[in-house]
């Protein structure tokens, strides 16, 4: 192995990104499975983009989407890692949610210089509504009444320590400010997971549903009838090169994807479910 290969292997994606191996997540945090799904979909979308090389503009659009995904996970992992520093945790949670909105914009903007006109509260509401429907379809028990608060709480998280942004764009949202958070009981604010479960968890699921609809279900809209062949090649690569190793690791460690998680993945792989 040459030095370049070693550098490539020794990176965050290969070494530290997987919730199944990095031991960062609380056992009750649904982001444990969700972020693993994001990491898998990151690789899946990168593979799809390679298969789209004969359609350069479509490939560039796909690239803009999948390249947003690592920061969504990395910022959240940073947030849960530094529990004794709630200011840093909430800053990183804000950045993770902001990354979700940025990726959603990339999905809906056919060209890089074409802005997607949708407010943050509209986007969060649509993502969380889509997640709520997904939970019902996969029989996942969650408080749907609490989910309705997700977009409001999400705006508060997005506005953390950004009062000028709040006054300009979210005039009805009260910002959470660092100096107030600094004086709060660490037992109440030290764990970011409960805050994330109201906002990041459902909005990220909504994003992944949008990603799947755009690039798998509606691939014909981008490349016509060639989509059938490209999709088949993608599914074959995932089900022979990527999924078996993950399934083996899950079996060894006793992990089983909830149905809401496995149904976000591409292809027809027979994942064991709870």
List, for residues 31-42, the tens digit of each pLDDT value. 999 999 999 999
> What's the confidence (pLDDT) of residue 126?
92
Quickly count: other Cβ atoms within 10 Å of residue 54's Cβ. 10
> What's the confidence (pLDDT) of residue 57?
95
Positive or negative torsion for Cα 40, 42, 43, 49: positive
Tell me the average pLDDT across 137-156: 81
Q: Are 236 and 244 in contact (CB under 8 A)?
A: no
Residue 194 has pLDDT above 90, yes or no: no
Q: Which residue has the higher pLDDT, 116 or 208?
A: 208
Q: 72: which 2 tokens? A: 């969504």
> What's the confidence (pLDDT) of residue 198?
87
pLDDT bin (cut points 50, 70, 90) of residue 153 is confident
pLDDT bin (cut points 50, 70, 90) of residue 20 is very high
Length of the chain: 274
> What's the confidence (pLDDT) of residue 55?
96
Q: 3-state DSSP: the chain helix, strand, coil percent, rounded to 5?
A: 70, 0, 30
> What's the confidence (pLDDT) of residue 168?
46
Render the burial of 231-260: b for 16+ CB within 10 Å, e for the rest: beebbebbeeebbeebbeebeeeebebebb
Q: Which residue has the higher pLDDT, 13 or 139?
A: 139
> What's the confidence (pLDDT) of residue 210?
97
> What's the confidence (pLDDT) of residue 152?
75
**Mean pLDDT lowest for which of 159-173, 183-197, 224-238?**
159-173
> What's the confidence (pLDDT) of residue 172?
54
Q: 76: which 2 tokens? A: 């959240």
Q: pTM value?
A: 0.87
């Amino acid at each position: 192995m040459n030095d370049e290969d070693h550098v490539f292997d020794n990176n965050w994606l290969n070494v530290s990104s997987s919730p199944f191996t990095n031991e960062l997540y609380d056992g009750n945090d649904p982001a444990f499975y969700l972020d693993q799904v994001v990491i898998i979909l990151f690789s899946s979308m990168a593979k799809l983009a390679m298969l789209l090389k004969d359609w350069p503009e479509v490939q560039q659009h796909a690239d803009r989407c999948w390249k947003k995904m690592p920061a969504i996970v990395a910022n959240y992992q940073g947030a849960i890692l530094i529990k004794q520093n709630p200011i840093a945790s909430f800053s990183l949670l804000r950045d993770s949610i902001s990354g979700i909105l940025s990726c959603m914009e990339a999905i809906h903007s056919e060209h890089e210089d074409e802005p997607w006109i949708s407010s943050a509260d509209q986007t969060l509401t649509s993502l969380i509504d889509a997640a709520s429907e997904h939970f019902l379809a996969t029989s996942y028990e969650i408080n749907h009444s609490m989910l309705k608060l997700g977009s409001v709480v999400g705006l508060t998280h997005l506005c953390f320590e950004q009062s000028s942004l709040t006054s300009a764009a979210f005039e009805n949202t009260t910002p959470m400010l660092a100096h107030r958070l600094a004086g709060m009981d660490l037992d109440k604010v030290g764990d970011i997971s409960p805050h994330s479960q109201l906002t990041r968890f459902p909005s990220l699921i909504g994003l992944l549903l949008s990603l799947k609809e755009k690039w798998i279900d509606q691939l014909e809209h981008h490349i016509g009838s060639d989509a059938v062949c490209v999709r088949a090649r993608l599914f074959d690569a995932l089900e022979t090169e990527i999924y078996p190793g993950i399934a083996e690791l899950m079996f060894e460690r006793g992990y089983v994807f909830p149905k809401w998680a496995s149904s976000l993945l591409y292809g027809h792989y027979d994942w064991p479910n709870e």
